[in-house]
Structure 1
């Protein structure tokens, strides 16, 4: 019987990793470190490095080791950990959809008293019902993003953007994003519904009260399809295979969020509100769709509470844009485009609405991602796609404030 090959290097690597981790832990404990706090998030690369730099002062001051656990399948990992009782102390989740459900099940520890009251608007930190029915605060925005943006290069005058937007070939559009492929398309459909039908209709749909088969929802899909050339086989083939982070030709437009500011800065880029280019946008359109990475506490340890207090401190240099009204400008805050983005996210008079798919249950959100991919290929099958989504929309969800001011 042949012995399986290839296992020894793996075992050696694992042992080396564990030995290195043990060495680091030993050094830290020898230096007087007093505890640990585990953090689960989906950040990798530069985002992870930004977070680790941000919490380094916390570690040094409190002698608490922040143990980062990264996963691109965060929702699945968190659900499995909760089921097994091995959940991290703190999780950073993109959007409130699953958090509002976890709060209602009694899975989350309230954060009331761990942050300055009034430092955040209720759209970012609403009070939601816990297992006992009492309303408390269960999450804290660590990183926020602005959507409803149409980027253009500096050599495209603002008054030409709307005319360029009428040509599907002028749009940079790419759907590939690993396990979450399709989300750039859901952003489009959501934003169009928001600008065409207003925040009340949008919020009702995002929280399950408006059917996917409603004519206003259907119109948003059809508008997007016409704008980007749904059904054009050659174009759609490129769109489905293209990575969402790929470069955009200089004279083209891109409907993407504030995370793209660095890419557009290289060509003197700027942005207009999406309502300026969306056909059928209401005269009073102007709400901004937003996103956020939300820190929530699953184990109410002293170390976890101290980390939440640190993250809520206006002096903490968090990655990119913060919703804290007293926080300092992010790195590069002297950039006029960054200032505009920051002022919208923190402005008390701005009208903001959560990314609708981030407010939906994970099963419905994932089905939405897949539906936009199918729609691009076969827009004539839209009615069937909407009926399938409605079949997943049972409407029985905990209440969530989707729209408000910044």
Structure 2
């Protein structure tokens, strides 16, 4: 009984910590956009620290020099809360760059976004990247990443991976990401569902048409549980406190001897995977009961949208969509020459946001070329990261459910019931009509 009391106390403590993280993020005051030059544009993004510095140097400074327009940039890891407060206060930024289309779709439905028609050629992108919703095109990808990937060191034979994948101790797992903590866990659940149930059922779920209590959804959670050892106190503690951006180092390294990591393309620029000459396999090769007859990839992206229609904002959108603009990691723009990333020095980084801007690294890189081909090639089925595509309330609840489930997988029925109730309650929200496409 004493051991059970300690366990219950530990669970309550972590629940309190998680709630405090969310409350702290939500308590951020709205931002006054100050210091505007005569010709200026305000920009809100989620890149901070080294990622922000690189974004300014490689994209914003050249834009300012070319157009004579000053960019007033604010980066925040709690971007959703900052933007909501700014919009509510009547002082939105001119342009925002956000991860995923779900939140932007909601702002478009509320007529808060300005259409981007005429500012770039939508034929440069597949329809899933730049869909027409609410009568127009409202965002353009600035940077994209490939998911459905399992990374492993070059020294590990690929034939050994299935056996390693059945050992929870071999998986690097870190879920801390500030106000968006939990998304590496939702990535797991999403990808397992995609590989086990196929893209059609995945799309029904990600667009609000499939119940969270569906057997396929429940099986995805249970598969993740078994793969990573959910409920194991020591592993859970490391995963909840470990930052996703640097799980292999920092003050509290989450991963030390693990050889597998389920993570997006941006991790390859991290110190650990660079040193280990990281390679990847499609996740379906290691996910139990994955469908072998279908191949689909989960993807994510940072999308630029316009909240105030000014000449300066239009100029910035055109610049960000220009195929000749410096690329921060990978692009969805088909006007960029095929094979550019096999030689291009830009890497998809692992910075402070949900996928960083990257760091320079020269030389031919066939792995990058393969990732680029998957992201932009025709005939490849790609599906948006489901939580990024869901309305914000659904997304945030999903993040929290992943954290709680990892700590106590026995609560799965309760977690799914809460999520299903929220889905039903938000049936009238701005769900995307589709999240998958192969064009």
TM-score by length of 2: 0.82
| Contact 2:405/2:411, CA 8 A, preserved across alignment | yes
Q: What are the Cα deviations for residues 124-164 of structure 1, in whole angstroms up to 9, with x where unaligned?
A: 111111xxxxx210001011111110000010111211111
Instruction: Map 1:1-400; keep pairs closer than 5 Å.
Output: 35-53=39-57, 54-129=59-134, 135-244=135-244, 245-247=246-248, 248-249=255-256, 252-263=259-270, 264-327=273-336, 328-329=340-341, 330-331=344-345, 332=362, 334-394=364-424, 395-398=427-430, 399-400=432-433
Structure 1 gaps, min length 5? 1-20, 130-134
Q: CA shift at 1:50, angstroms? A: 2.2
Q: What are the Cα deviations for residues 354-379 of structure 1, in whole angstroms up to 9, with x where unaligned?
A: 00000111121111111112112211
| Range that drifts further, 53-62 or 186-195 | 53-62
Q: CA shift at 1:237, angstroms? A: 2.1
Number of residue pairs matched by the alignment? 373
| Contact 1:192/1:278, CA 8 A, preserved across alignment | yes
The corresponding residue for 2:437 is 404
Q: CA shift at 1:233, angstroms? A: 2.0
| Contact 1:145/1:258, CA 8 A, preserved across alignment | yes
**SS of aligned partner of 2:411:** helix
**SS of aligned partner of 2:288:** coil
Structure 2 gaps, min length 5? 1-33, 249-254, 346-361
Q: CA shift at 1:179, angstroms? A: 1.9
Cα distance between partner residues in 2 of 1:231 and 1:101: 35
**SS of aligned partner of 2:123:** coil
| Contact 2:99/2:300, CA 8 A, preserved across alignment | yes
**SS of aligned partner of 1:392:** helix
Q: CA shift at 1:104, angstroms? A: 1.3
| Contact 1:174/1:241, CA 8 A, preserved across alignment | yes
Q: RMSD of the alignment, in Å? A: 1.7
The corresponding residue for 1:4 is none
| Contact 1:144/1:291, CA 8 A, preserved across alignment | yes
**SS of aligned partner of 1:49:** helix
Cα distance between partner residues in 2 of 1:240 and 1:311: 35
Q: What are the Cα deviations for residues 63-102 of structure 1, in whole angstroms up to 9, with x where unaligned?
A: 0001101122111111111122100000011111011111
TM-score by length of 1: 0.88
| Contact 1:145/1:290, CA 8 A, preserved across alignment | yes
The corresponding residue for 2:17 is none
Q: CA shift at 1:238, angstroms? A: 2.1
Q: CA shift at 1:252, angstroms? A: 1.1
Q: CA shift at 1:295, angstroms? A: 0.3
Cα distance between partner residues in 1 of 2:133 and 2:380: 22
Q: CA shift at 1:250, angstroms? A: 5.5
Cα distance between partner residues in 1 of 2:80 and 2:236: 29
Q: Which has the larger radius of gyration?
A: 1
